[in-house]
Structure formats: structure tokens, C-alpha cells
Amino acid sequence: MEYHNKLVLAPMVRVGTLPFRLLAAQYGADITYGEEIIDRKFLKCERRVNEYIGSTDFVEKGTDNVVFRTCHQERNQVVFQMGTSDAVRALNAAKIVCKDVASVDINMGCPKSFSVSGGMGAALLAKPELIHDILTTLKRNLDVPVTCKIRLLKSSQDTVELARRIEKTGVSALAVHGRKVADRPRDPAKWSEIADVVSALSIPVIANGDVFEHDDFQRIKSATGASSVMVARGALWNASMFSPGGKLHWEDVKREYVRKSILWDNDIKSTKHTLKEIIMHYSCLELPEGKAVIKSETLADLAKLYGEEKYYQFVSDNRSLVNGSR
């Protein structure tokens, strides 16, 4: 995995599933992070090859609950992001998936209570010894690149100090979200503090924060000196922002996401969540489209809503042929 001059899809809970990662890649994303997956949950999973849809699934044992789905097409660009607070647990979880992904990343920036209360995510920022333990354990025992994603600390000096300690573990790159734990998305990202980290390190730094247009990729690179750029909300609202040719209309991008969700049999809750986030940005959920998405119970319902019944039928018929020939 190469981390220079890359456009990167950030990890987003309930958004970064296989269809959205492939959507971003189609428009030009070089590296695509999956949503954060908790190590304890992943340790309950087993790997299954899903010939029915052509994917590799990691399914919770004793259930049909797909915790992580990937495919050969994204093998060299998908990053498995994990939430953890224990080195051995992290390693055991990573070993399950490491042959099917391009790299493994540890989440050290999530401020959500489910993550922090378990000692994961942003809670790790206050535990440099534990960070060192987790990253060195993974680095010594895995054949894929290991990276992590952090937020800014109280002072730029503190962030730089932590970043230097992280660099010493041998990670391949460091992603830095230009906000502190207490900051909200509406608070401006502090690009200058990302620049301080970049100038202190020799490994690639991936800059994240306030990237909404394709031109912003170059703007944040120029302002920070970062090797690569990561985008979250900008890509969620219109994944074609990765395209150097300019954005497509968000309605067209949304429909392509629906098609990919049908093709890869995406979880209906994740699909609806992503669609609702897009609709809320451009419109509102109280209008007919939003209400219909909320009411939808299956991918077939969404196919009907977005005029993709023929595509849904085509995909279903092809799966039946595959199933029948086995």
C-alpha cells in the first residue's frame, strides 16, 4: 500500500460498507476505509466465501449477521479499521481479516460514547503506552501495513509528541483529523496543526477535515504538506467529488449507490442510513422521498422507489442462475 498522493475515503459508521467503498473508488478514491468494527465483535466472526454474490463475508457465528463484507475488486485499496483497547485482542481480530484487505488501521479518534466508554477510539489518545503496545504488536505480527487515525490534542505540541511516539512503532502512515475530541463537525478544522505534525514526521501523514470539493484536496495538501488527503462528509454527500472531472449531480450519484447496494446485497439499515444522510443534506426527510426511504423495509422497496426494478430483477435472475448451476 502506497500512501503518497492518494485520495482517501474516511471511515464512516453505517456508511463505509462495500457498496459505498466501491462507489467512491469508481469516482477516483485510491484508498477506501471501512466503517470502524469493534475487535470483540469481530472475534465472534468466521470467514465465508459468498459465491451467491461474489463477496468474502465475515459473519457472526451462529447468525447470518454480516459484520464485514469485501470483494476481490477492492483487495488492494480497502482498509479494515478496528476499534480496540487491547493489543492481543486487536491482533487476534486482525489475523481473521488481514489476508483479504490492503491494510489494518486502528481508530484513535472516534469521540462517540460507545467507543470512548470501552477505552477505544479517542480514549486511546490519553494512553500513549497502550497505543505503543497495540501498534507494535500488530506491526510485528502482520504482513500488511498498519496505520492509525488520531485527532488533535489540547495543544499542537502534545499532538506532535504523540505523533512522534506513534511513528516510532513502525506504522506505515498516520491519519490526522484536524479537530479536537470536543470539537463538533461545524467547528473549522485546524489545518495549521496538521501541518505541525507533517513537519515533525518522516512517515506519510493523511490530512482529514473540511474537504468538500475536489479543489480542496490540493488546498489542504498545500496548507499542510500532507502526503495524502482523507474525506468523510464531502464524500458522503457526493462521492463523485473524488473525480478530477468535477462532481456529478447528487441525484445520479445517489442512484448509483442504490444500484451498488442491490448488486452487493447491502444491509438495508446501512443503505437507508446512507440515503437519509444524503437526502438530509440536500433536502429533508419530511418530503415524499424521505418518507418513502424511512418506510422501505427491503432493497426491493428501494429499487421500486428509485426506478431500479429492472436492475433489481436482472441481479436477482443472475443470482438464481449462479445458484442453479452449483
- Catalogue the active-site residues: 110
DSSP letter at 229 equals E
Q: How far is CA 315 from CA 43, 52, 151, 319, in A?
A: 32, 11, 42, 6
Q: What is the rounded distance in angstroms from the CA atom of residue 88 to the CA atom of residue 133?
A: 9
Do residues 47 and 56 make contact, with C-beta atoms less than 8 angstroms apart?
A: yes
Q: What is the rounded distance in angstroms from the CA atom of residue 140 to the CA atom of residue 46?
A: 24
Q: How far is CA 34 from CA 50, 113, 317, in A?
A: 19, 20, 29
Q: What is the rounded distance in angstroms from the CA atom of residue 289 to the CA atom of residue 283?
A: 9
Q: What is the rounded distance in angstroms from the CA atom of residue 218 to the CA atom of residue 24?
A: 18
In DSSP terms, 82 is beta-bridged to 37, 106
Q: What is the rounded distance in angstroms from the CA atom of residue 80 to the CA atom of residue 96?
A: 11
> Which helix H or strand E contains 251, and what residues bound it?
helix 250-263
